[in-house]
Structure 1
Amino acid sequence: MPRPRSLTPARIAEAALAVIDAEGLAALTMKAVAARLGMGTMSLYRYVADRAELEELVVERVLADVDTATPDGPWRERVAVLAGRVRAAVALHPNALPLTAAHRDGSPALARWSESVLEVLTGAGFAGEDRVVALRALVAYLVGAIELEHRGPLEGRSTRRMAELTGFPLLAATARDALALPPGAEFGRGLAALLDGLDGLAGSPPR
C-alpha cells in the first residue's frame, strides 16, 4: 500500500516533539507518536524503523531553524553568535536536550552549524590539530553548558538545596552565587573564558 503523502518526516517529528514537550522524554514511544498522528502503532513502523530514528527526526526538528549563516565581526564574536543560536533553539524544547547531545554526530543540522564555525575558525588562523581542539572544545562547552542550564545541579531547586548545605562552605557559597547569576550571563562569561584560552591557538605554528 502506498504511503500517504501527507505523513512526512516533518509531521512525524512534530508529533514526536509534541509528546516530549508535553510529557517528557521518557514518554517518547512509537505508540505515543502514532496516537498523536491518529494512526495505529504498527502503521507508524512503515515510516520509521524504531525509536532511534524518531529521536534523530526530533533533533533535526529542534535544530532545523538554527541560522548557520556566519555573522560579521571579529572571530570571537562570530563564534559566540553561532553558539548562542544553538542555545536559543534548544531552549525552546528543553526536554529534548539529551537527544541533541546523543545524536549530534549524525545530525545534518549540526553538521551545517559545525561547518560555519570551522569557516570562522579557519579564517582566524586555526588549522590542523589546533582547529580540532578548538571545535571540540566549543562543542563540549555548548553541550555541557546547555545541559547544566536546563537539567543540571546548578539549576532551580537543586541549586537552592546546594546553597543550604552544611560542611561544604565553598560549594554552598558557589550555589548562592549561581542563584544570582542570570543563565545568559553565565553562558556568555563561560564562553568568553573558553575563547580567551583558544585565542592563543589562532595562527600558532603547526605542531
Structure 2
Amino acid sequence: MPRPRSLAPDQLAATALAVIDREGLTGLSMRAVAKELGMSTMGLYRYVRDREELERLVVELVLGAVDTGPPDPAAGWRERITVMVRRMRDAVGAHPAVVPLIIAHRHRSLGVLRWSEAVLVVLDETGMAGERRVVALRALLGHLIGAIQLEHLGSLAGAGTVAISELPPDAFPHMAATARTARNVDADREFLGGLAILLDGLEGLTGPGTGDR
C-alpha cells in the first residue's frame, strides 16, 4: 500500500478506530495504526504527537456521531433526558471498546462537553442546580457508561447467567433466583429500566427549593 501523502485527523481517527474495533483496545498502538496506513511508525509521528493524542481523535470521531441538538421542547424533561442518553448509548455502543478512552479523556472531549451541556440545559429547566445538578449529571453518565460496559464488555448474559442460576440455593438463593429471571431481560429493557429508576430518584430533586444544596 503506498504511503498517503497527507492525512486528515478524521482519517487517522478512523484508522485507529478500525484497529480497536477489530483487535480491541489492547491492539491499539502507534505501530498498529501506522501499519494499517501503510507507513512507518515514525512517519505517523508527523501527524500526532503520541498515542494519547490519537486516543483523543478516536473519542471525538465516535462522539461526533452523537446528536447534541435539543430534543422536542414539547416533551417532558424525563423524555428529553432519555432521548439524550439513548443518543449517546447508540453512538458509543457501536464501538464499545472505546468506552475506557471516553472515561479517560472525558474532561477534554468536546463531544462529552457538548452532550453534557445539552443535558444540563434540561436539568436546569427543572429547577435543579448546584450540588444536586452535579450529582444528577454524574449519575446519568455513570449509568450510561456502566450499562454499556456491562452489555458489551462484561456481560453476565448467556453462560454467565446460567452459571449464576446454578449456584447452591442454600448459599445464594437470591442470586440464583435473580439470574433465572435475568434470562428474560434483554439489554434494552435492562438499560431503560435502570434509567427509569434513576429518573424517578432525580424527579424528587426537581422544582422549587432544589437549588444549591
* Structures share fold, TM-score greater than 0.5: yes
TM-score (normalizing by structure 1): 0.92
Return the alpha-carbon distance in structure 1 between the equivalents of residues 100 and 46 of structure 2. 26
**Counterpart in 1 of 2:192?**
188
CA contact (8 A) 1:148 1:155 kept: no
Matches within 5 A, 1:71-82: 71-72=71-72, 73-82=75-84
> How far has the Cα of 1:204 moved from its partner?
4.1
Which is worse superposed, 34-43 or 125-134? 125-134
Give the gaps of 5 or more residues in structure 1. Answer: none
> How far has the Cα of 1:100 moved from its partner?
2.0
Are 2:54 and 1:50 aligned? no
- Number of residue pairs aligned between Structure 1 and Structure 2: 204
DSSP 3-state at the match of 1:181:
coil
Given candidates 168, 175, 179, the residue that maps to 2:179 is: 175
DSSP 3-state at the match of 1:105:
coil
Q: Which has the higher helix share?
A: 1
Give the percent of matched residue pairs that are identical in Structure 1 and Structure 2. 58
**Counterpart in 2 of 1:199?**
203
Q: Deviations over 1:14-58 (max 9, x none)?
A: 010000111111110100000111110011112112222221111
**Counterpart in 2 of 1:28?**
28
Q: Deviations over 1:70-124 (max 9, x none)?
A: 1120000000010001111111112222222222222100100000000111111
> What residue identity is the alignment partner of 2:122?
V
TM-score (normalizing by structure 2): 0.90
Given candidates 155, 159, 174, the residue that maps to 1:157 is: 159
Return the alpha-carbon distance in structure 2 between the equivalents of residues 151 and 190 of structure 1. 18
Return the alpha-carbon distance in structure 2 between the equivalents of residues 54 and 175 of structure 1. 40
CA contact (8 A) 1:20 1:95 kept: yes
Return the alpha-carbon distance in structure 2 between the equivalents of residues 178 and 99 of structure 1. 29
Matches within 5 A, 1:142-153: 142-153=144-155
CA contact (8 A) 1:19 1:32 kept: yes
> How far has the Cα of 1:157 moved from its partner?
3.0
Return the alpha-carbon distance in structure 1 between the equivalents of residues 208 and 156 of structure 2. 36
Give the gaps of 5 or more residues in structure 2. Answer: none
* Structure 1 residue runs of 4 or more that deviate by more than 6 Å after TM superposition: none
CA contact (8 A) 1:154 1:178 kept: no
> How far has the Cα of 1:145 moved from its partner?
1.4
> How far has the Cα of 1:11 moved from its partner?
0.5
DSSP 3-state at the match of 2:183:
helix
